[in-house]
Amino acid sequence: MAAEPKTKPTDVPVADFIAAVDNPKRRADAEAVRAMLTEVTGEQPVMWGPSIVGYGSYKGPTGDWPIIGFSPRKAQLVLYIMRGFGDFGDQLARLGKHKTGGGCLYINRLDDVDLGVLREMAASSVAWMREKYPA
């Protein structure tokens, strides 16, 4: 029997989670990403576990996960691009200062990246995930 994922949707209001982010700049960046992903997905965000803001869901090999999400961590803002980064070479080159690892995009500050490129990547990833994992 497979282990149950620990990261599941919760009833914690996303607004309360973001309001509790200590760093004012990180909090403002989180609000901007929340607004962008809400617009890109057409869905309202939901807290997944204690620290991930997720949008939509799909049934992956290890259970349900958001199709895209983010977390305003202390060190960096992390975007969870479930599609991965294999097809994003051009966009990553144009994005600005960032790091990637697995399906994670690490950004120190939104001021360091091109928001238009970030939005393109998010929209492309969401479309790809919805095609691969239809509801």
> pLDDT tens, 91-106?
999 999 999 998 899 9
Establish if 8 belongs to a structural domain: no
How, if at all, do strands 63-65 and 58-60 pair? Answer: antiparallel
Expressed as residue numbers, the domain containing 122 is: 14-132
Establish if 4 belongs to a structural domain: no
Report the distance separating Cα 118 and Cα 94, nearest Å.
9
Output the domain CATH number for residue 44: 3.90.1150.200
Confidence band, pLDDT 50/70/90 cuts, at residue 1: very low
Q: What is the pTM of this model?
A: 0.92
Confidence band, pLDDT 50/70/90 cuts, at residue 87: confident
Establish if 92 belongs to a structural domain: yes
Establish if 78 belongs to a structural domain: yes
DSSP label at residue 73: -
Establish if 6 belongs to a structural domain: no
Establish if 2 belongs to a structural domain: no
Report the distance separating Cα 81 and Cα 100, nearest Å.
10
Establish if 70 belongs to a structural domain: yes
Quote the mean pLDDT of the chain. Answer: 92
Into how many domains does the chain fold?
Answer: 1
Confidence band, pLDDT 50/70/90 cuts, at residue 5: low
Establish if 103 belongs to a structural domain: yes
